[in-house]
Amino acid sequence: MISMIRIDDRLVHGQLAVKWSKELGISRIVVVSDGIAQNEIQVSALKMAGPSGVKVAVLSLEKAIAILNDPRSEQLKILVVTNEPKYVAGLVPKLKEKPMLNMANYGRIGGSLSDKEKITETVYLSEEDKETLKEIFDAGYDFSYQPLPDDTPQSLKSLIGG
């Protein structure tokens, strides 16, 4: 079972490994990124960053779809994390379940902030990001903007003005 899908530039890091994994009671973290899945050094670093007792897998989009739809995954509590909205747009229509979506700490790494709109203190979106998110919203999903489990969740769609 997918407990949550999160977009976060930092992927597996302290907040995710400690706070979110404990809050959600997860047993697996699945990082979805075609590029990172092909980089052995990044894969190794992400696996080491996982919390004790939680297995981390770094998968391409196609492999993630297959694994997450495998009946054996229903017995697990899985946190899916990616650093690009396009992977969520490619993932959610192909999943058997409708998981909670979350975004925080996105858009400040890579690229110029001058080309992006500041949505919150930790979310900056390009026009391409907004178009991708609109596709997800149009499919009946919303994201909560909630950096930490103790923070009050806010509708990302509302924050963007959509």
DSSP code of residue 114: G
Residue 13: active-site member: yes
State the Cα–Cα distance between residues 62 and 32, nearest whole angstrom. Answer: 9
Secondary structure class of 133 (helix, strand, coil): helix
Q: Which amino acid is at 114?
A: S
Name the residue with tokens 């990124």.
33
State the Cα–Cα distance between residues 56 and 52, nearest whole angstrom. Answer: 10
- Residue of 13, 19, 86, 134 with catalytic role: 13
Closest CA to 32 of 66, 63, 76: 63
State the Cα–Cα distance between residues 104 and 122, nearest whole angstrom. Answer: 6
Which residues have a catalytic role annotated?
13
